Structure 1
Amino acid sequence: MVTSDDHWRFVGIAWRLDRLRWVPRDVLADVVMKDGECVWAFADGDPPELTGHDGIDRELAARLCARCPVQDECLELELRTAGEHTTGVWGALNERDRRALYPHWRQRGERAEPLDEDGGEEQ
């Protein structure tokens, strides 16, 4: 269940991502692969699995991404790529939070590449 506080938190995150609206997806991917903390932290193994418990998964996402300098770029890339079908931890948010964020993000307008019918960007 999304609370009023969550609603406004997601509106704020969507607004913050507006600065990345016109950055091409390939540029976002390059930035995330080059500077993403998780790319280097888990290069030799898989990151921890989500538990399915919202509070625990939120804390796990926050801890995994705490020092990452490209959280927004990562989140923007995942929303563009996976849309509502997002899984795992991206941009310091678990999948449930990203699914709740998605409609707020989508309302903010066009992106560098058009979105397809399923929510992700057309290839």
Structure 2
Amino acid sequence: MNRDEYEEIADKLDRYATVPSDVLTEIVTRDGLCFWAYDRTEVPELSGEDTPDRELAARMCAGCPVIDECLELELRSAGADTVGVWGALSDSDRRAVHRIWRIRRARQAGGEQR
């Protein structure tokens, strides 16, 4: 992924800026098709066409109706310390989005960007 793609993701998340975290938690918990919610005993097979973490994240979250809400919640709660699969992104992709997301939110709030 490149910076433009990360910017696009952060832009899409702006619509959740005013949604309280407890509401996001409820939505993600109720509607998320998380890996552990399935009766799966195996990790999806990887094709070798993409980096394993990125491909695994995409496959684990495929078809989930709350990918954006999940990503927003993870960026708020873990920020740059994010690990695992959230919002159909690998942890390295989420860290890159987080930097952009944090700057956008600071601008929206009229605060300083760090």
Place the TM-score, normalised by the shorter chain, in its bin.
0.7 to 0.9
User: What is the Cα deviation at residue 40 of structure 1?
Assistant: 2.4
SS of equivalent residue, structure 1 residue 73:
helix
**Percent identity of paired positions between Structure 1 and Structure 2:** 53
Number of aligned residues: 99
**Partners of 1:70 and 1:41 in 2: CA distance:** 16
2:60 is the counterpart of 1:77: no
Query: Which residue is equivalent to 1:40?
Result: 37
Length-normalised TM-score, structure 2: 0.80
Structure-1 residue corresponding to 2:91: 95
- Among candidates 6, 10, 13, match of residue 14 of structure 1: 10
CA–CA distance in 2 between the matches of 1:25 and 1:13?
A: 19
| Residues in 2 aligned to 1:84 and 1:27: alpha-carbon distance in whole angstroms | 22
Deviations 1:48-103 (A, max 9, x none): 4xxxxx71110100000011000000000000000100000000001010011111
The two structures have a TM-score, normalised by structure 1, of 0.74
> Secondary structure of the equivalent of 1:68?
coil
CA distance in 1, matches of 2:105, 2:98: 12
1:20-35 matches, cutoff 5 A: 20-35=16-31
- What is the CA–CA distance in structure 2 between the aligned matches of 1:33 and 1:40, rounded to whole Å? 10
1:107, CA displacement in angstroms? 1.2
Which residues of structure 2 form unaligned runs of 5+? 44-49, 107-114
- Tell me which stretches of 4 or more aligned residues in structure 1 moved more than 3 Å: none
SS at match of 1:22: coil
Q: Secondary structure at the match of 2:63?
A: coil
The counterpart of 2:53, out of the listed 35, 47, 57, is: 57
RMSD of aligned C-alpha atoms? 1.9
| 2:92 counterpart letter in structure 1 | R
